[in-house]
Amino acid sequence: MNRLLHRILPALLVYGLLMLGTMLALAPLLWMLAASLMPPGEATGYPPRFWPSTVTFEHYAALFTRLDLGRYLLNSTLLAGAVTAISLFVNSMAGYAFAKFRFRYRDRLFRILLAAMVIPAQVAMLPLFLLLKQFSLINTYWGVIIPGMANIFGIFLIRQYLLAIPDSLLDAARMDGAGEFRIYWALVLPLCRPILVTLAIFTFMGAWNDFMWPLIVLTDSSMYTLPVALANLLGEHVQDTELMMAGSVLTVLPVLLLFVALQKYYIAGIMLGGMKG
Amino acid sequence: MTGQERHAARSAKVFLAPALLLIAVFFFLPVLAALLLSFTDFDIYALGDLDRLRFVGLRNYLDLLQSPLFWTALGNTFYFVVVGGPLSVTVSLGAALLVNAPLTRFPGFFRAALFLPVVTTLVAVAVVWRYLYHPHYGLLNYGLGLLGIDPIDWLGNPVWAMPAIILMAVWKNFGFNMIIFIAGLQNIPPQLYEAARIDGANGWRQFRHITLPLLGPTFLFVALMTMIGYFQVFAEPYVMTQGGPTNRTLSVVLLMYEEGFRWWNMGYASAAAFVLFVLILAGTALQLRLQRREPP
């Protein structure tokens, strides 16, 4: 009896809750996948089905042939890829400067940047739109990329990582007569590899999942990213449940696979950001 | 300054220049411009011809304060922050405690499974949840029906629409804070629990007197970040309800988007954005003060 109370009951409770939580977390995603493979009309039957009676890929085919989803997939990949590559370069240089150089106002400047993280991005959006309009960048890829090219959180993450690396390594390279850019490129960047991978995943996912800014900047439907295209598709095809689910799967799947493949780096990054923040 | 220090300062400037220039031009400058814009009557006519722009002082702010729609949006946003924020943090902490419990095997599996909603695209899962919430064939009402509960028109009913959006947001977000809580829990030295067990403290008292106090800084960070994020709610109502029914899910950012980018009342929309910013600042200050006064 005592053993039951102290060992088995808590275990039942913990596992019961964990199973329930896992089920609730995954159920919407599993239903999305199942419904995307159902014949038209089956996802809106009653009682609801959890499994397709026959598996069909016709909705995926329709997305790529009739609804031009390949184009949006390309837009999303291109934009998220460009933002990631450029911001990684820009942020790592700045993070390196804050971590490894002494200069006037360094700490004050860094504190100002950190404090600015509480300013919601939406405050800047209206003037940013007008600014980009002046340069005819509305409805262009650059209009989406430019605001993401430098990122305070990215600079912060790189700086924190580099603080832990001893200066002696860099000094030795300087003694050997290596130029500053060469030191950054050939020594600092390889040292930062783990945090760069982490930051790359964060940035890519953030850019891929971003909705509000692409919605504002991209006015022509051929320029849409997947989330914008999906929200737009909902307007015309709200009745086509299975088709909408296939579109959702295609939007979610690339980032989900990226996470599953690089989970370790992603979770380490949250912990680093969370602990030191 | 020695030659070497001067050299270092010069290199630092070169490395910093791209990032600082970009942040200055595409973030700080627009934020300042938004403040100026909020004191003008910038509208669709000014968009075509800047000569039509006039300085109107505080009129946009006064108009906002007299607009019932703005107060509705403000009330809805507070509802989302005040109910959704604490709910999300509580669920995150609960999940972290379960995953981190000593008797849980395969914590890596549970952690990843519970985290999965975080990495999904908000717009896509908002679309999915729209169907889950469907009054006739949605899974949620089917499940409730099995428990003998009558169907609810989740997104169409003014009372239930906001709770439905909160539930979806918590499902989407709780995993992120769960990871931060797990990191915080793992930083607590296990000897403390051992000592407490020897002293005869039960599970609840260990949680109350060891876990919670030592989790304090993590808690503050999580609560702040969640609050700031929840104040900016936009895509959930945009996709799931368009702010309806009868504006019961219209958020401040959604209002700002509609006013600014649909009707081009950019002066008015900037004022709304600044009110939101001030609220976020006030909320941050309040939380910092509360947590400093009484350690949890």
Chain centroid, CA B59 distance in Å? 29
Q: Is residue B64 part of a domain?
A: no
Please give the domain boundaries of chain A with CATH numbers for all domains.
58-276 (1.10.3720.10)
B41 assigned to some structural domain? no
* pLDDT (0 to 100) of residue A277: 43
Residue B60: predicted pLDDT: 96
Closest residue by Cα to residue A118 from B232, B272, B39, B50: B232
B89 lies in some domain: yes
pLDDT score at B51: 82
Please state, for a pLDDT cut of 90, what percent of chain A lies above it.
Answer: 75
The answer, yes or no, to whether residue B169 has pLDDT greater than 50, is yes
Over B237-259, what HEC string results?
Answer: HHHHCCCCCCCCCCCHHHHHHHH
Query: Are A24 and B218 inside 8 Å of each other by CB?
Result: no
Q: Would you place residue B246 in the very low, low, confident or very high pLDDT band (cuts 50, 70, 90)?
A: very high
With respect to residue B82, please indicate whether it lies within any of the assigned structural domains.
yes
Residue A40: which of A218, A242, A245, A248 has the closest Cα? A242
Q: Give the whole-angstrom CA distance, residue A236 versus residue A226.
A: 16
Query: What is the total count of domains within chain B?
Result: 1
Kindly determine whether residue A118 and residue B280, on different chains, have CB atoms separated by under 8 Å. Answer: yes
Single-letter amino acid code for the residue at A34:
A
pLDDT band at B225 (very low <50, low <70, confident <90, very high): very high
The Cα–Cα gap between B183 and B177 comes to: 10
Phi, psi of A120 (to 5 degrees): -65, 140
Please list every residue in chain A whose beta carbon sits closer than 8 Å to the beta carbon of residue B41.
none
What residues of chain A, 79 to 138, have a C-beta less than 8 Å from chain B? 90-91, 93-94, 96-98, 101-104, 106, 109, 113, 116, 118-131
Quickly count: other Cβ atoms within 10 Å of residue A64's Cβ.
14
Give pLDDT, residue A1.
Answer: 58
Q: Please indicate, yes or no, if residue B250 is contained in any of the structural domains.
A: yes
- Contact A46/B139 with Cβ under 8 angstroms? no
Selection from A80, A77, A74, A119 nearest residue A203 by Cα: A80
Do residues A212 and A191 make contact, with C-beta atoms less than 8 angstroms apart?
A: no
In a domain, B234, yes or no: yes
* DSSP 8-state assignment for residue A48: P
Q: Which two tokens stand for residue B210?
A: 């060891």
Q: pLDDT by residue (tens digit) across A131-180?
A: 999 999 999 999 999 999 999 999 999 999 999 888 888 888 888 888 88
Least confident interval from A1-10, B51-60, B118-127, B164-173: A1-10
Beta carbons of A116 and B27 less than 8 Å apart:
yes
- Alpha-carbon separation of residue A246 from A33, A37, B52, B121, B187 (angstroms): 7, 8, 48, 14, 42
What per-residue confidence (pLDDT) applies to B269? 97
Q: Find residues 1-30 of chain A whose CB sits inside 8 Å of chain B.
A: 10-11, 14-15, 17-18, 21-22, 24-29
SS3 A277: coil
Q: What integer best gives the mean pLDDT of chain B?
A: 92
* Residue B43, domain member (yes or no): no
Please report which confidence band the pLDDT of residue B10 belongs to, taking 50, 70 and 90 as the band edges: confident
* pLDDT of res. A272: 74
A186 CA: distance to closest CA in chain B (Å):
15
Q: What is the ipTM of this complex?
A: 0.92
CB contacts, 8 Å: B287 with chain A: none
CATH number for position B266 = 1.10.3720.10
Show the CA angle centred on residue B218, arms to residues B212 and B224, nearest 5°.
Answer: 115
Higher pLDDT, B4 or B268: B268
pLDDT tens digits along A43-99: 988 888 888 999 999 999 999 999 999 999 999 999 999 999 999 999 999 999 999
What integer is the mean pLDDT of A13-37? 95
CA atoms within 13 A on the CB side of B227: 22
**In the predicted structure, residue A4 carries a pLDDT above the cut 70:** no
Residue B176, domain member (yes or no):
yes
Among B31, B94, B257, the residue with its CB nearest the CB of A123 is B31
pLDDT of residue B296: 44
CA distances from B131 to A61, A239, A266, B126, B234 (A): 22, 10, 30, 9, 19
Amino acid letter at B21? L
Q: In which band, very low, low, confident or very high, does the pLDDT at B231 lie, cut at 50, 70 and 90? A: very high
Report CB contact under 8 Å: A127, B34.
yes
Closest CA to B155 of B83, B240, B233, B246: B240
Alpha helices in A101-192 (DSSP H): 106-115, 121-134, 141-145, 152-163, 167-175, 180-183, 189-191
Q: How do residues A202-258 score in pLDDT, each as one tens digit? A: 999 999 999 999 999 999 999 999 999 999 999 889 889 999 999 999 999 999 999
Lowest model confidence (mean pLDDT) among A25-29, A271-275, B129-133:
A271-275
Q: Could you tell me the residue range of the domain that residue B119 belongs to? A: 72-293
Asked whether A133 and A72 are in contact (CB, 8 A), the reply is no
pLDDT for residue B295 is more than 60: no
